[in-house]
């Protein structure tokens, strides 16, 4: 699935019943859907999974990518983002968080040097993914999930 992702994030993905689907007919690389509890990927073995896991992390940690604190970090560091998907990643804080998580996992040393505040926010989000938090997410969203 995403072997380099944080163990607690992977555990939460499993415990909350999220699944990965592959669909080569879609016109996008990946899509996180909290309502359906899925990540849909176009290609098997693509590192897009880490971007989509970034969306999952933000969701489970309390939609941290939509917080005013993260918005300030996004505005202060987005110009330093130099990844391949720069124009997509820097269009808004949500995509920036997800793509930064991708780089945080796959290129940790470089990413921490370039985007220290962003990486600190990601690290804080990872720490929020505890069994208690996962149980709370299940309690809140469980009635909406089939």
Query: Tell me, which fold does domain 7-133 have in CATH?
Result: Collagenase (Catalytic Domain) (3.40.390)
* 142 CA to centre of own chain: 20
CA triple 67-71-77, angle to 5 deg: 145
Rounded CA-CA distance 113/117 in Å is 10
> CA 138, CA 60: separation in Å to the nearest integer?
10
Q: Half-sphere exposure of residue 136, counting CA atoms within 13 Å on the CB side?
A: 10
The DSSP bridge partners found for residue 38 are 19, 33
Arithmetic mean of pLDDT, 12-33: 97
Percent of the chain clearing pLDDT 90 (strictly above):
94
Domain ranges of the chain: 7-133
Give residues with Cβ within 8 angstroms of 144, minimum separation 6.
35
Q: Are 22 and 41 in contact (CB under 8 A)?
A: yes
Give alpha helix (H) positions in the chain.
7-15, 48-60, 68-77, 86-89, 93-106, 108-114, 116-128, 131-141
At 77-105, the pLDDT tens digits run 999 999 888 999 999 999 999 999 999 99
- pLDDT band of residue 142 (cuts 50, 70, 90) is very high
Its pTM stands at 0.96
**Tens digits of per-residue pLDDT, 124-140?**
999 999 999 999 999 99
At 23 the pLDDT is 97
Provide the 3-class DSSP secondary structure of residue 122. helix
């Amino acid at each position: 699935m995403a072997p380099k992702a944080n163990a607690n994030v992977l555990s939460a993905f499993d415990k909350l019943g999220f699944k990965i689907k592959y669909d080569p007919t879609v016109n996008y690389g990946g899509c996180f859907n909290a309502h359906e509890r899925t990540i849909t990927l176009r290609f098997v073995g693509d590192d897009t999974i880490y971007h989509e896991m970034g969306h999952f992390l933000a969701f489970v940690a309390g939609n941290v990518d939509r917080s005013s604190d993260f918005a300030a970090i996004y505005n202060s560091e987005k110009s330093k983002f130099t990844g391949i998907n720069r124009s997509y990643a820097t269009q808004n804080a949500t995509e920036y968080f997800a793509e930064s998580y991708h780089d945080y996992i796959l290129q940790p040393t470089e990413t921490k040097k370039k985007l220290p505040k962003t990486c600190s926010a990601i690290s804080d989000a990872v720490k929020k993914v505890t069994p208690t938090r996962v149980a709370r997410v299940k309690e809140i969203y469980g009635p909406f999930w089939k």
